[in-house]
A and B are shown apart, each in its own frame.
Chain A
Amino acid sequence: MNRLGPSLVTRWVIGIVVGAFFAIPLISTFLYTLRQTDGSLGFERWAALFDPTKSAAIKPIWMGLGNSLILAAVTVAIVLLLLAPTMILVNLRFAKLKPLFEFAVLLPISIPAIVLVVGLAPIYLQIGRAFGTGTWTLAFAYGITVLPFAYRSIQASIDAADLRTLAEAARSLGASWPTVVLRVLAPNLRQGLLAASLISIAVVLGEFTIASLLNRQVFQTAMVVVQKQDPYAPAIFTLLALLFVFLLLLLIGRVARGTGKARS
């Protein structure tokens, strides 16, 4: 045991306090969704979500969820097809540009969403003319907001793998660049690419400000709309979304452990 680390009791206390910090709001929200008008607890409101006769009230949430999932898919595509190859290119061929590139991709984390929207608004006028005003076009903005998170995940994998030697070995064996990227580099960056994808999904599902200010209906904006008529349904969806993100994080951890075991 590490003698410099905290004692068992201290660790338990820290664990309980931090656990309570996260658990109390969730449990409270859960109990709130169970509370009936007569004060008793029951699952009627959960069951009502799937009741066709009552579906009209929460229809915007289902629609918003659908839009958010489409956005998540397009955003993940941007991360995998644009960001990841660019990062590989920068790391292999343009190493001198790496600090500048890193600065650029980490920038969105320091820019408030409202400022980002002010900058994006005129661009979205052009996007609207070129691609229409479909909700999926928000993915261009989300592609920017997820950059810092996706970048860190992928870069960690790149740093762990000796990309240059792998690429040069593959080239010396006769592989073309697409083959090098798809058959050699991507499998060795699998953990980072998966983590970047899952984090992107989590960010997209939780994003509200940009969608609201650009007047698009996504999962979060829909919940605000529905909350005005039915405060319980958004609470239930919030719990479900949190559960979904929690499962995503578990999946990331599992993949990370799996990859670690395979290489140890």
Chain B
Amino acid sequence: MTLPQTADNMLLAEAGEGTRVQLQSIVKSYSGTTVLHGVDLDIAPGEFVSLLGPSGCGKTTLLRVLAGLEGLDSGAVLLDGGDVSRVPTNKRDIGMVFQSYSLFPHLRVAENTAFGLRRRGIGKSEAAKRALDALALVGLSDFADRYPHQLSGGQQQRVALARALVTEPKVLLLDEPLSALDAKVRVQLRDEIRRIQLRLGITTVFVTHDQEEALAVSDRIAVMNSGRIEQIGTPEQLYTTPSTAGVAAFVGLSSVVSGVAEGDHVVVWGQRLPLQSPADGPVDVYLRPENVHFASEADAATDALVQESTFLGSMRRTLVRTESGELVRLQHSPGIHPAFGDRVRIAVAPEPVAVHPRG
């Protein structure tokens, strides 16, 4: 992989081949508490994989194990087939961006960016030149002489990204790099990271607890819970066919209601809905908010009481409690204003749904 020389001809740059990353049966514990239970993950060269999950699920620990910042109790970390489990962080040839702005406060932006190159024995002038190229990549070449405290949070993370990329590492590790930024900058930088990753073809592991972020940028997402990967797949797979209630709840705000599967369809609230895959017997049915809608008295539907309703600009999201006590989210036009305690009827669009045997 070669960093382009300028921001302009960067558009023509060819993506590199990337590095294959394999995490094999990773076990990690702290003071007797196991936080990673034999995690396996195989990341293809040039792939962008997100580790998604709630706080404390082990996603950051897994990233730190990959970086060599944490030792592992058992298992192996392989880069392009080579076992680096015992290789110290500074010898792993990784680039990492942290949640907190990790720029060195005493160094100017250009010096920060050139830091990794200098550690690799590259001469001062060559390092400075390549640092400027990397800054151009993130649109900050005019800020080379500034100190980190003279930059905004978004700019600091851009510099951190340039600093991580300039050494042309085998793997780029992003540990919730957008968490400390405001909403608008988050989206901008998120898209920028993906754009650069695609152009450089660098294998990237992105830790986040924000499902929207993960869905927007990833080739694949590994949803983690309690130190295990619950499901790994493309954003579409996770969204449409969650394998567990946990994944369904975390990705896309699915509601889980009970139904009875009968081969190729499931009955929910008296409605027959097609199934994504055949099943029989009592099941949990995952309903996406966009597939649930208000219904008229004549429709096959169920009665519910409005619990809350949130205005989200182009739409409104309402939470209702059905007669059987199930909480269901539905997404609808902002023109409808349900109030707390309103009695409504809701129905499900006849789209294929995912189910999981109840138990």
Chain A residues within CB distance 8 Å of chain B: 161-162, 165-166, 168-176, 179, 184, 187-188, 190, 262-264
Contact = CB atoms under 8 A, between A and B. Distances in A.
Contacts, number: 70
A165 B115 CA distance: 15
Nearest to B163: A173
B90 A165 contact: no
B104 A165 contact: no
10 contacts: A165-B100, A165-B102, A168-B98, A172-B69, A172-B95, A174-B116, A184-B104, A262-B147, A262-B149, A263-B149
Contact of A168 (B89, B149, B163): B89
A172 B164 contact: yes
Interface residues of B, number: 29
Nearest to A162: B100
Contact of A170 (B67, B106, B115): B115
Contacts of A170: 104, 115
Contacts of A174: 90-91, 93, 116, 119-120, 167
Nearest to B103: A169
Given A162-B100, A165-B98, A263-B105, A171 B149 contact: no
B119 A172 contact: no
A89 to B, nearest CB: 16
A172 B89 contact: yes
B249 interface: no
Interface string B93-118: 11110101011111000000001100
A264 B67 CA distance: 32
Interface of B: 67-69, 88-91, 93-96, 98, 100, 102-106, 115-116, 119-120, 147, 149, 160, 163-164, 167, 173
A250 B89 CA distance: 42
A184 B115 CA distance: 10
Nearest to B64: A168
Closest CB pairs A-B (n = 5): A173-B116, A169-B102, A172-B96, A174-B119, A187-B106
Contacts of A187: 104, 106
Given A262-B149, A264-B149, A171 B90 contact: yes
A264 B102 CA distance: 16
Of residues A161, A169, A188, A262, which shows the largest number of chain B Cβ atoms within 10 Å of its Cβ?
A169
A172 B105 contact: no
Contacts of B68: 171
Contacts of A165: 98, 100, 102
Contacts of A166: 102, 104
B167 A173 contact: yes
Nearest to A172: B96
Contacts of A262: 105, 147, 149
Nearest to A185: B104
A170 B116 CA distance: 8
A174 B95 CA distance: 9
Nearest to B91: A174
Contacts of B90: 171-176
Given A168-B67, A172-B90, A188-B104, 13 more contacts: A166-B104, A168-B89, A168-B102, A171-B69, A171-B88, A171-B89, A172-B89, A172-B95, A174-B116, A174-B120, A174-B167, A187-B104, A188-B106
B176 to A, nearest CB: 12
A173 to B, nearest CB: 4
Contacts of A190: 106
A168 B69 contact: yes
Query: Which of A165, A166, A171, A263 has most B Cβ within 10 Å?
Result: A171
A220 to B, nearest CB: 38
Given A179-B119, A263-B149, A172 B94 contact: yes
A173 B115 contact: yes
B114 to A, nearest CB: 10
Of listed B96, B120, B147, residue having the most chain A CB within 10 A: B96
Given A262-B149, A263-B149, A173 B98 contact: no
